[in-house]
Amino acid sequence: MPKTSGFDAHLTRLDGPLPAWQAVVDHTAWRAGCASCRADGGHLASLWGTDARHAGKGFLVHALLAWTGRLVWLSTQAGDTALHYPDISDLFPAAARLQRAMTDLLGLACVSADTRPWLRHGAWSATDFPLRDDFMTATASEAPYPFVRVAGEGVHEIAVGPIHAGIIESGHFRFSVVGDDVLRLESRLGYLHKGVEKALGALPPAQAVRLAGRICGDSTVAYALAYAMAVEALDGYTVAPRAQALRALLLERERIANHLGDIGAICGDGGLAFGQAQFGLLKEHWLQAQQPLFGHRYLMDTITVGGVACDLGAADAAAMTAQCHELANALHELEEIISDHAGLQERFLGTGRVTAEQVEQYDGVGLIARAAGVRRDLRLEFPHAPYADLPVEDTRHPVGDVAARVALRFAEIHAALRLICRILATLPEGPLATAPGTARRTCALGGAEGWRGEVFVTLERHAAGGPHRVHVHDPSWQNWPLLELAALDGLVPDFPLINKSFNLAYSGHDL
């Protein structure tokens, strides 16, 4: 077992597909564990709170730490009266917004530099806490949001959103600029809080996995898979090898579809309408092929607790392999056109750069981290079945600008196509679904490397037999602050291009 700076005495192994350990400690040890994780080069994977008063534990604060080759779920009890816990935003800057969300949802607070509301947009008052067990109804209470102001000669603000001209969800961007030069960008999200975590906990797993797959429509496989993995760990399922392989195939197909669409959108914002049209067509063909094979263009409801809801015959596998080769050939030609297009490359190169140091500081994950040269991929760092037996490629780019994020998308599509072909060539026989085992554990963790990055779901069984405690974490929590950094010292007209190259989720903040 890897060492974690002398902290191992507190930890117990958490059963499940991921290499995870857990401990409940006091405030001093909780803060010390987070500090040791940071010192060892680990990163904050998630931060959340739960109402555990039913079990006599008051309120708990949890940090999921990616730490020296394993995931550490570290919990501490909030203070009995003031409901305080130690601030860790100085160790992990990405924790600041997660801490603010905890205050809004549960009334848990810490002494930090930023205590502004994050998810509370007037739908409930400062004394209403939607994730508490005894929450019933909310009282609307809206107040102006205190954006950070930038003063100086010639400085003015540009407010964009929260309502946008397209079909994207609500998000507000406040630019402080001089002319077209961006001095500061501050975003505000969480306008459409939906109460998903409580709904997930109250539903039977067979229904909840369908809801999990609808948290973020472009990541249905990743969310449903993370949720299913958590339930399977909680209730002792052993997922059959064929189902595991098909799950990976579905996840890689979802990755390809989103990367195709993103490259097209980036081309459009860069002024190359031809590229936007071509990649839109490639994505459409890819999605159309999924309808007859899996029952849904976007792969909704293909992941079930205990397995999958779809199968492939020999003819289907052969047709999909041929489709992968055709797409790979088309991509090589289009990639050459894009890389040789002087006007497009002038827009891409050096625009919206994020450094490896910034990624490490803000715990950036997924595509955004890898495009800046940082190795963040659950399939490689914490491999679970079937990825432990698959040749997952370490796709990274050292530069971190728009050009790097486009290049990485091409690399990840090619890598995913090779993985799909490998899965199809070695698809094991066996059942598609299994029943729960005899184990009835108290908590569990599930996770999947979606196309944006790592999606985590944690489950805690209610001691009184009531609903589960569910927490869902989207990778965009860590990457939104990096988008703000990427816009600094750039031009306002470049922001749509930078934003498209990140393509972060709004839904992940609006649970």
- To the nearest 10 degrees (0 to 180), the angle between helices 241-269 and 314-339 is 30
Q: Where are the domains of the chain?
A: 8-106, 155-188, 196-509
- pLDDT tens for 135-181 read 988 888 888 889 999 989 999 999 998 888 777 788 999 999 999 99
When pLDDT is averaged across residues 86-108 and rounded to a whole number, the result is 95
Provide the whole-model pTM: 0.96
If residue 357 lies in a helix (H) or strand (E), which one and from where to where? Answer: helix 356-362
CA distance 460 to 14: 12
| CA-to-CA dists, residue 88 to 23, 70, 394, angstroms | 17, 20, 30
If residue 48 lies in a helix (H) or strand (E), which one and from where to where? Answer: strand 43-51
- Could you please state the CATH topology (level 3) that the domain comprising 8-106 is classified under: Beta Polymerase; domain 2 (3.30.460)
The pLDDT assigned to 464 comes to 63
Q: Which two three-digit tokens encode residue 223?
A: 């969310």
Which residues make beta-bridge pairs with 337? none
When pLDDT is averaged across residues 219-235 and rounded to a whole number, the result is 97
Q: What is the CATH number of domain 196-509?
A: 1.10.645.10
Give the closest residue to 105 by CA, choosing from 88, 87, 83: 83
Per CATH, 8-106 and 196-509 having the same topology is answered no
Note whether 370 and 408 are within 8 A (CB).
yes
- pLDDT tens for 320-351 read 999 999 999 999 999 999 999 999 999 999 99
Whether pLDDT at 1 is above 60: no
- pLDDT tens for 58-69 read 999 999 999 988
